[in-house]
Amino acid sequence: MPEAINVIEGAVTDLPRDDVDTDQIIPARYMKRVERTGFGEFCFHEWRQQGLELRANPILVTGANFGCGSSREHAPWALDDYGFRAIVAPSFADIFRNNCTKNGLLPIALEPEQVRAIAERGRARIDLEAQTIDEFAFAIDPEIKHRLLNGLDDISLTLQQDDAIAAFERDRERTGPVTTAL
């Protein structure tokens, strides 16, 4: 289950590149595990082998269209395992953004000049409840916000409906299957 997020504060890692795809985040050859842990050591592996210095700060600031490419869920796993809790960018690939929020990683889309301002400062404070990162407001779907504030994944969201599920099952046992006449 993901860790609940309310405030993320600390140093910023700046990766000023657009169109960073999921194969750059976690190369396919390292996706041989079935558990969600242990992928951090392979996060941006090729780039780090070529000299990219990538500090494991809580906030990653990057360019537009972050997380494009294949829909691998391993990319958010690798970023989280590396130490990032939030990613700030002008835009994200849709599937990547959804994979992040389902795994407890907060993607924040801001205007490019706001992203650059945060990167230049080198530190930031994100308040999910207030929907702010420093002086900048960001939008987030209310259901996703609820999920992240409470550290909920798909299974825990379903389990919140345990009483309704049990009532449905009890009712179904009494009445049997529903049939319709044609």
3-state secondary structure the chain: CCCCCCEEEEEEEEECCCCCEHHHHCCHHHCCCCCCCCCHHHCCHHHHHCCCCCCCCCEEEECCCECECCCCCHHHHHHHHHCCCEEEECCECHHHHHHHHHCCCEEEECCHHHHHHHHHHCEEEEECCCCEECCEECCCCHHHHHHHHCCCCHHHHHHCCHHHHHHHHHHHHHHCCCCCCC
Break the chain into its structural domains and give their ranges: 7-175
Query: For position 125, what pLDDT does the model report?
Result: 98
pLDDT at 72: 82
Q: How confident is the model over 91-142, as pLDDT tens digits?
A: 999 999 999 999 899 999 999 999 999 999 999 999 999 999 999 999 999 9
Residues of the chain with pLDDT under 70: 174-182
Output the pLDDT for position 164: 82
Residue 177, pLDDT score? 64
Q: Which CATH architecture has domain 7-175?
A: Alpha-Beta Barrel (3.20)
Q: What pLDDT, on a 0 to 100 scale, did the predictor assign at position 58?
A: 97
